Amino acid sequence: MAETLPVVSGLGLPIVMCVSSRALSAPLNIHGEHGDVMAVRDLGWIQIFSEQAQEAYDNTIIALKLAEEVNVPVMPIMDGFHTSHTTERVEILDDKIVEKFVGIRKASQSLTDFENPITIGTLALQNTFFEFKLDQEKAMQKAKNAYRKICAEYQKISGRKHGLFEAYKIKDADSVIVMMGATAGTAKEVVDNLRAKGKKVGLLKVNLYRPFPYKEVGAQLAHVKNIAVLDRAISFGAYPPLYQDVVASMHNSGSRKHDIASYIYGLGGRDTLQKDIEKVYKDLENGEISNKIKYLQ
């Protein structure tokens, strides 16, 4: 169905498609990783990653209001099986509260206003196609601030805070892992355990992946000595996706002169344990940092 995704975004349709992210065949595998959503990350859809079931619920509500505000489709993403097929407690809001929060969409144009006819899904040739794509990009860039605003509004009705990312104990950290999705919960446990032993470690969990918050991520990591990026997806013949974006963030901020470590984990649903995350922090502490991709198998 990937071929329909750019059609939806190109038409500016405020569709929300909840995704339980999984591995791509072949060989056949139905378990969790981020390979499928990363394969379509540049097709014009907003992507919001969730760590656990509560975030998946919250992000779905936020996504609908966001999509209708900026006319860009949204994928709220959770890890396949690790989140989608496990049982967790979730606090549910009353339907009337959600309905009031989302509101009624007011379309900018009507398909049945015969005094002001419009064309949707038209043919665009060399003299207009470029401009259509630039309009899409402008809408996508507006989504970042709109997302922040809507998250603040959602906090008022739910008491739960969401944002571009979660900076977990990184204020004084010497070593920080950057990652997305369900395994961030495991990483937080490791951070707490290592902090109890006097280690200055932290975690930056990215929530809004598209549009990517380059400036904000660069600012959060500017003071950090050692950085590792953990991707739950592989890009054959290239650095993995999140790593590329974090490196670009640091380069654009002008604050990075050292290598940033790249790790790939959890492909095909493979478990990533605390000892695996501990190994990454140990590598950072020992200065075992290079631009060569490492694999947590």
Q: What is the pLDDT of residues 9-49, one digit of tens each?
A: 999 999 999 999 999 999 999 999 999 999 999 999 999 99
What is the enclosing helix (H) or strand (E) of 262? strand 261-265
Residues with Cβ within 8 Å of 266's Cβ and at least 6 positions away in sequence, in order, are 32, 33, 183, 232, 272, 296
Topology agreement, domain 2-158 and domain 165-296? yes
Tell me the mean pLDDT in the region 54-63: 99
Q: What is the pLDDT of residue 204?
A: 99
Tell me the mean pLDDT in the region 254-270: 90
Domain positions in the chain: 2-158, 165-296
Say which residue the tokens 């929530």 belong to: 207
- Label residues 58-82 b or e (16+ Cβ within 10 Å = b): bbbbbbbbbbbbbbbbbbbbbbbbb
> In the CATH scheme, what architecture does the domain 165-296 have?
3-Layer(aba) Sandwich (3.40)
Instruction: Record the pTM.
Output: 0.96
Q: Which residue has the higher pLDDT, 22 or 256?
A: 22
Q: What is the pLDDT of residue 294?
A: 98
Count of CB atoms situated within 10 Å of the CB of 152: 12
Q: At 150, list the tokens.
A: 């809507």
> In the CATH scheme, what architecture does the domain 2-158 have?
3-Layer(aba) Sandwich (3.40)
Q: Which residue has the higher pLDDT, 255 or 130?
A: 130
CA distance 124 to 132: 8
Q: What is the pLDDT of residue 257?
A: 67
Q: At 265, list the tokens.
A: 């984990």
Tell me the mean pLDDT in the region 136-149: 98
Does pLDDT of 255 surpass 80?
no
Q: Which residue has the higher pLDDT, 149 or 259?
A: 149
Q: What is the pLDDT of residue 120?
A: 85
pLDDT averaged over every residue in the chain: 96
Q: What is the pLDDT of residues 117-141, one digit of tens each?
A: 988 888 999 999 999 999 999 999 9
Tell me the mean pLDDT in the region 171-185: 98
Confidence of residue 256 (pLDDT cuts 50, 70, 90): low
Asked whether the CA dihedral 145, 148, 151, 153 is positive or negative, the reply is negative
Ranges 105-114, 181-190, 222-231: which has the least confidence: 105-114
CA distance 247 to 218: 9
Q: What is the pLDDT of residue 38?
A: 98
Q: What is the DSSP letter of 157?
A: H
Q: At 251, list the tokens.
A: 């380069």
Does pLDDT of 258 surpass 80?
no
